[in-house]
Amino acid sequence: MKGFAMLKIGQIGWIEKERPTCGVMDAIVKPIAVSPCSSDVHTVWAGALGDRHNMILGHEAVGEVVEVGSLVKDFKVGDKVVVPAITPDWNSLEAQRGYSMHSGGMLAGWKFSNFKDGVFAEYFHVNDADGNLALIPEGVDPIEAVMLCDMVPTGFHGVELADVQFGDSVCVIGIGPVGLMAVAGAALRGASKLFAVGSRPKCVEIAKEFGATDIINYREGDIVEQIMEKTQGKGVDKVVIAGGNSDTFVQAVKIVKPGGRIGNVNYLGSGDFIQIPRVEWGNGMAHKTIVGGLMPGGRLRMEKLASLIQTNRISPKKLITHKFNGMEHIEEGLLLMKDKPKDLIKPVVIF
Ligand code: NDP
Ligand code: ZN
């Protein structure tokens, strides 16, 4: 079968591989639509996971089940499914401890385009099909459903990590597709003032639609100064980091109030350390919490998030700015995610 792969750090291309085989608890899925992700960009061009050779990329797909293992109970050939980017081993001790995304080791619930071939192929393998697949629900467009694989759950996880509560003032740093879903999630959770940090006009437009009350353009001045000015020097209750670089932590610590929380979902692709500013961290005594996490995957999570589309609580189709017809356009889609033109939020490639 054909697949679009990372050949080595900095190099991508089409390769031929054997179609994956199906274990007793697994499924083989044929993509209907996929989406390239900024994480694919970090993996290939920043070498963030280390070297990978001839590994098929991609971890965001909806598809049709073409084979199931003998122990799979709830899915059958022909089912149309959402496949989360993170596919844990649900029997693992880490999952039993509540951290399924780290089943088998730190970040090891993230299998596609990390430890095994991803979804940019004619077929891909899904472990633990009953635990990790979800049917595309009635009335949900399969193309919009691709946003459920990673963008919605990651943005929302940032909001969970920051523990946004009714009436909190919140700053979401980064309003690409992940940050935009964090804006939508923070609004759903009852944020009051909702600052969104970004610059690209299309992202700014959707951030406002999703509930941002103030846009902070980091290219036009220091984020810290802008937020402090707008909050009369007090800062915000919660910060979600969904973009920026290692220095963003310094800014986040400076703008969060004592007792506040910073939830990071940004994939830090380079550098060895993250800095915490000593004085603004209260010399270590400010009760400012920093948490970072990989999105939770799994079927229940997918079904619950899909129900938010069904009930019109969220509209992730607004993230999709570019649609391509045909698997051969994957490279174009991926290069868009790398180059981030002004009119891009997220591309989808329909097979
Ligand atoms: P994008 O690159 O599309 O968006 C990044 C955002 O950050 C943009 O709004 C950009 O602004 C803004 N930004 C860039 N530099 C700065 C800066 N110096 N200060 C403040 N803001 C800045 O990324 P995605 O939304 O696709 O993904 C966000 C991150 O989430 C990525 O690192 C991705 O790998 C990661 N991720 C993590 C997952 C997880 O499970 N934890 C899963 C999926 C993705 P501008 O408007 O100028 O472009
Ligand atoms: Zn992704």
What are the pLDDT digits (tens) for 180-194? 999 999 999 999 999
Same-domain status, 8 and 145? yes
Question: Per the structure, how many domains does the chain have?
Answer: 2
Choosing from 248, 269, 292, the residue where a domain stops is 292
CATH number for the domain harbouring residue 125:
3.90.180.10
Q: Which of 251, 269, 292 is the last residue of a domain?
A: 292
Edge-to-edge strands of the sheet including 11-16?
A: 11-16, 2-8, 55-56
pLDDT at 118: 97
Q: Dihedrals φ, ψ of 207, to 5°? A: -60, -40
Our answer on whether the CB atom of 178 is closer than 6 Å to any ligand 1 atom is: yes
Domain that holds residue 235: 153-292
Look over the chain and give the mean of its residue pLDDT values, rounded to a whole number. Answer: 96
Across residues 33-46, what is the average pLDDT?
A: 94
Residues at Cβ < 5 Å from ligand 2 ion: 37, 39, 150
Q: What is the dihedral of CA 177, 260, 165, 252, to 10 degrees?
A: -10
Give the closest residue (by CA) to ligand 1 atom 26.
Answer: 38
The reply to whether 97 and 200 lie within a common domain is: no
Per residue in 46-67, pLDDT (tens digit) is 888 888 999 999 999 999 999 9
Nearest-angstrom CA–CA distance, 304 and 28:
23
CB of residue 175 inside a 6 A radius of ligand 1 = yes
Asked whether residue 270 carries a pLDDT value surpassing 80, the answer given is no
Burial 10-24 (b: 16+ CB within 10 A, else e): eebebbebeebebee
- Name the residue at shortest CA distance from atom 29 of ligand 1: 266
Q: In terms of DSSP bridges, do strands 346-350 and 27-34 run parallel, antiparallel, or are they unpaired?
A: antiparallel
pLDDT score at 304 = 97
Under 8 Å between Cβ of 116 and 289: no
Ligand 1 site, residue 264, Cβ cutoff 6 A? no
Say yes or no: 220 and 259 in one domain: yes
Has residue 295 got a pLDDT over 90?
A: yes
Instruction: Give residue for tokens 């608890």.
Output: 25
- In this prediction, residues 224-228 reach a mean pLDDT of 98
Burial (CB count <10 Å: 0-12, 13-18, 19+), residue 37:
buried
Contact 60 CB / ligand 1 (< 6 Å): no
Among 124-138, 257-271, 297-311, the least confident range = 257-271
Same structural domain for residues 89 and 122?
Answer: yes
344, pLDDT greater than 90: yes
